[in-house]
Amino acid sequence: MDRIFFFALLFCSVFMNAQFGRNCEVRQIKINLFNPGLEYEMGLGVNSTLDFRVAWQMALEPASEAPLENYDFFPAITVQNRYYHNFNGRDRRGRSIYGNSGNYIAPTIAMFSPEERTVENTVVDGIHGYGGLVYGVQRSYNSGLSFSIDAGAGYYVGPFKGGVYPVVNLSLGWIISEKRWCVGK
């Protein structure tokens, strides 16, 4: 009886170890060229990461009467808790999961800190931000090139009337530092 328990425990621990150490990178730092800045992504679990981005980011102007038609660049901090749902499928099909190459769903928050500006003859000052949910795709290549795009909706708040508007984030750049958790293919 003790042997059966021992072998069952050994089998379960091997299975858990294989699942835990297989998918997400421990950490990676990326330079973003599309929205100039830095991005840090660290593994939280099997298929989950925390992505932290500091960048000069293109965003809609939520203080405008027609925010979907007015865009500007703002200094921004964006945080996402990404859950990659297709790592195992990509791995089974022989596709790379290097650099967290996969599709994800993520709650996201962002804070923009623009200087005082005039929007439609009204002076707007102060930080604004949003909280929402996005669906995204990220691909990283052995050369270090990394690409991600996500889209969803967020509730914008700040020195204006809040509302729900679309959220789109695009990142194109290079991985400059990494600590591999998975080997990927």
150 sits in which H/E element = strand 145-157
Q: Is 158 part of a structural domain of the chain?
A: yes
The per-residue pLDDT of the chain, averaged, comes to 81
Q: Is 151 part of a structural domain of the chain?
A: yes
Closest CA to 172 of 28, 24, 31: 31
- How many residues belong to the chain? 185
Q: Is 184 part of a structural domain of the chain?
A: no
Answer whether 63's CB lies under 8 Å from 122's CB: yes
Q: Is 185 part of a structural domain of the chain?
A: no
Write the pLDDT tens digit of every residue in 59-80.
877 777 777 777 778 899 999 9
- Which residues span the domain enclosing 32? 2-179
Q: Is 168 part of a structural domain of the chain?
A: yes
How far apart are the C-alpha atoms of 37 and 15, rounded to whole Å? 39
Answer whether 111's CB lies under 8 Å from 76's CB: yes
Q: Is 98 part of a structural domain of the chain?
A: yes
DSSP 25-67: -SEEEEEETTTTEEEEEEE-SSSEEEEEEEEEEEEE-TTSSSG
How far apart are the C-alpha atoms of 28 and 112, rounded to whole Å? 24
Write the pLDDT tens digit of every residue in 132-157.
999 999 999 888 899 999 999 999 99
- Domain total in the chain: 1
Residue with more model confidence, 97 or 41: 41
The two structure tokens encoding residue 82 = 């990404």
Angle (CA) 83-16-140 rounded to 5° is 40
Alpha helix (H) ranges present in the chain?
A: 2-20, 87-92
Q: Is 12 part of a structural domain of the chain?
A: yes
Residue with more model confidence, 49 or 24: 49
Closest CA to 130 of 81, 77, 51: 77
Select the highest-mean-pLDDT range: 43-47, 112-116, 120-124, 168-172: 168-172
pTM of the model: 0.78
